[in-house]
Amino acid sequence: MNKERHTLKIAVYAVLIKNDQILLTRRSNTGWQDGNYSLPAGHLEIGETLKEAVIRETLEEIGVKLIDDTIQLAHTMHRQDLYIDFFFTGQWSGESENLEPEKCDDVRWFPLDAFPENMVPSVRFGLEKIQQNNAFSELQLGYDEKLSPSLAGKTIV
């Protein structure tokens, strides 16, 4: 019997909404989903809480500080490719700007009802679930890699 435990990576996402628009960042030079929009996001570091991670990531990537006591969990997603994703909303201070130009080539507000075509598929899926008031979702192994640009925005079941 195999006693090795299954391990997961943890990612946090900041869902920043203002005036019926959402803030997205376009990935660049990362080697994964480059050219596609995502949310300000990153990995949980050892010793961090989820809230500390999302606060750190938004400050590092776009220069805004999430206000700790306003942060709320909006959605949890299990991607079977070894990730658990936590999507958070909250109030913030500061104005967004691109502080990681080596990993991101655009930071822009989009209407909530008009996401860009070129978007990380799992992020789009998570945002759609948030709009549907679903607290939890699961995605099959390799979901992001199975969608070609021509299928962006369509859900695979």
In a structure prediction context, what are the per-residue pLDDT tens digits for the chain, which is 157 residues long?
A: 678 887 899 999 999 999 999 999 999 999 989 999 999 999 999 999 999 999 999 999 999 999 999 999 999 999 987 899 999 999 999 999 999 999 999 999 999 999 999 999 999 999 999 999 999 999 987 777 776 443 344 333 3
Tell me, yes or no, whether 3 lies in a domain.
no
Tell me, yes or no, whether 156 lies in a domain.
no
pLDDT of residue 1: 65
Domain CATH code at residue 114: 3.90.79.10
Based on its alpha-carbon atoms, the radius of gyration of the chain, rounded to whole angstroms, reads: 15
Tell me, yes or no, whether 4 lies in a domain.
no
What are the pLDDT digits (tens) for 105-121? 999 999 999 999 999 99
Global pTM? 0.89
Classify strands 104-111 and 21-27 as parallel, antiparallel or unpaired: antiparallel
Tell me, yes or no, whether 132 lies in a domain.
yes
pLDDT of residue 154: 38
What total number of domains does the chain contain? 1
Where in the sequence is the domain holding 30, given as residue range(s)?
9-151
Site of tokens 């598929």: 121
Residue 54 has which token pair?
Answer: 């999302």
* Pairwise CA distance, residues 121 & 154, whole Å: 8
Tell me, yes or no, whether 16 lies in a domain.
yes
Residue 53 has which token pair?
Answer: 């991670």
